[in-house]
Amino acid sequence: MIFKIIITWFISIIILSKSTIGADEIDSFRSSPEGSVSSIGKSKHSIANNYMVVTADYRATQSAKRILELGGSAIDAAISAQMVLNLVEPQSSGIGGGVFILYYDAYSKTIEAWDGREKAPINYSQDIFLSSDGKKKGFIEAVSGGLAVGVPSLISTVEKVHNKYGKLPWNSLFKDAINYSEEGFIIGKRLEKLIKRAPHLKNQKYAKDYFELDKGGLKAGTLKTNYEFASSLRAIRDDGSKALLKGKLANNILSTVVNHKLNPGRMINEDFNLVNPLLTKPVCSSYRSWKICGMGPPSSGGITVLQILGILNNFDLSNKSLTNTNVWHLFLEASKLAYTDRGYYIADNDFINIPIKELLDPIYLKERSLLIKNNDVIKNPKKGNFKNYKASFLGQDVTSEKSSTTHISIIDGNGNGIALTSSIEFMFGSGLMTSGFLLNNQMTDFSFYPKDKEGNLIANRPEAKKKPRSSMSPTLVFDPSGNLRMVLGSPGGSQIICYVAASLVRMIDLNIRPENVTHFPNICNRGFASFVEKGEKGDILSEELERIGHEIKRKNMTSGLHIIVKDTDGYYHGVADQRREGTATGNN
């Protein structure tokens, strides 16, 4: 075993030595808590004609590849990769959080959407994040401890998908994560940096000790073990989701949440019975000649991406007379309008009537496009109105969704595809750790205020048994003949929607090659301010957009796009965003 550890350590150091960390400044927690690993340079690109895997860490990518080589399906590979990611990328996702999945079955040519979002505890109320004076709590105050934790649903969700589409036995999918937990894994530079930027890890002894905060935090290159996580994985391996929702692990989760001294949670035993991942229908629409499918509510990702593209459908972005500035002016205005609708209309559809059909109606989106002017900007975007829609929730939501999420894109040897986006919400979630893994703070994805300034109820306000709105945007793209041609998604909080939509514009309209898609500055407008990513490439674009009238703000916009594109010759192009530590690999 010692020899194996030495070899693992040596290989990891070689890989880490090839990465460089950009000197990005510390963002405020309300923008992007995760900085980039490198500047906007070259993405990681792989080409193959049999299968393709793209994940956020080379060890997870290799784990998925091993499963595919054994004859596993896309869901088998994704589960194995996700378990490894929980260990090596603990700040972003894991079994203490939730997930959204789009799955394409090549044999039946069906597209399924799986909703694995956590629900608010039974004892939740709409004023849960308000202080005694009626003002909202600070984000770090709300997120630190048990109050923001929902019962984890990731394991239950992937288990259901595996029961339907898995080829390898469930108990064979945990080997790599267990081995890394017991034999050790090398701490990466990104994890080292983020540990130092997480103020809430110190609020619990378990997490404080695990991440060695008294020693200044875990250091890159360190070999780290996690025997408790290995034990938890063995229990899940042997008993499935029951191991997490009943018995020892469930008791550990509950005790950790409710016994936090400064910010105890409202979770009770009955909340574990609420976990029931749903097979739902994806939201799909046409963009140019392509069919784009995304996740429906409680994720706002699918609808809002499709709204942006639906508005842009009314402009010819491939027109050579359009400058780069024209294209991104139109994109900012389209995203501004789409995010405005999102803020009013999208939340958990078990609690409100969401006008999905109306929001995606081409006639409606044509009307919205007429609000966009070539040389002017919309100052005060208004929500769309629908004649036959009676809305009792019309408050405008300004929820600040954080960016600690991961995305897995896989197409297996049989052509099955999976776009899996999972999250524990903020970096390191609630900061609470139990049984070897971190617990989510997904409940802070609710609006802290239940009403807006005018007294209107906000659709995405906290309520018992309700799912908080998400922006996760796992996406599948099909050509006019119905063939799966793209699988993509990204972490990035509420900006995920822009990252995905902009990537589709670049590939479909601007004919940019997959390996070059992430080389351009990220850009987004979430209803008000327009943001362009910091860096030289964004400087020129920002100046030109400001001449039109945009008020441009600059910040680090740390996307983690993981894209698979199948070209006309049948080759898969896997792309991992250079801003994070992802890798792509395939097989011929």
**Tens digit of pLDDT for each residue in 10-35?**
333 333 333 322 222 223 333 344 54
Question: What pLDDT is stored for residue 335 in this prediction?
Answer: 98
Helices assigned H by DSSP within 272-431 = 301-312, 324-345, 356-359, 362-369
Mean pLDDT of 354-379: 96
pLDDT in tens, 368-405: 999 999 989 999 999 999 876 665 556 666 565 555 79
Question: What pLDDT is stored for residue 401 in this prediction?
Answer: 54
pLDDT in tens, 279-324: 999 999 999 999 999 999 999 999 999 999 999 999 999 988 888 9
pLDDT band at 528 (very low <50, low <70, confident <90, very high): confident
Residue 301 lies in a domain: no
Domain region containing 449: 2-274+408-492+512-523+558-587
pLDDT band at 157 (very low <50, low <70, confident <90, very high): very high
Smallest CA-to-CA distance from 509 within 292, 188, 274, 232 is with: 292
Smallest CA-to-CA distance from 301 within 81, 137, 526, 510 is with: 526
Domain count of the chain? Answer: 1
Residue 153 lies in a domain: yes
Residue 481 lies in a domain: yes
Residue 289 lies in a domain: no
Tell whether the model's pLDDT for residue 431 goes beyond 90: yes
Residue 356 lies in a domain: no
SS3 for 521-534, per residue?
CCEEECCCCEEEEC
Question: What pLDDT is stored for residue 94 in this prediction?
Answer: 97
Mean pLDDT of 401-416: 88
Q: What are phi and psi of 256, to 5 degrees?
A: -60, -40
pLDDT in tens, 86-95: 999 999 999 9
Q: How far is it, in rounded angstroms, from Cα 38 to Cα 20? A: 6
Tell whether the model's pLDDT for residue 548 goes beyond 80: yes
Q: Is the dihedral of CA 89, 91, 93, 94 positive or negative?
A: positive
Tokens matching residue 587: 């097989």
pLDDT in tens, 481-512: 999 999 999 999 999 999 999 999 999 999 99
- Can 256 be counted among the known catalytic residues? no
265: domain CATH number? 3.60.20.40
Q: What are phi and psi of 52, to 5 degrees?
A: -150, 140
pLDDT band at 171 (very low <50, low <70, confident <90, very high): very high
Residue 540 lies in a domain: no
Q: Which of 8, 405, 421, 434 is catalytic?
A: 405
pTM exceeds 0.85 for this model? yes
The mean of the pLDDT values for the chain is 91
Residue 361 lies in a domain: no
Tokens matching residue 132: 């005694």
Residue bearing the bigger pLDDT, 138 or 23:
138
Q: How far is it, in rounded angstroms, from Cα 511 to Cα 121? A: 46
Smallest CA-to-CA distance from 246 within 231, 258, 236 is with: 236
Question: What pLDDT is stored for residue 393 in this prediction?
Answer: 58
Residue 420 lies in a domain: yes
Question: What pLDDT is stored for residue 397 in this prediction?
Answer: 66
Question: What pLDDT is stored for residue 521 in this prediction?
Answer: 96
Q: How far is it, in rounded angstroms, from Cα 510 to Cα 348? A: 35
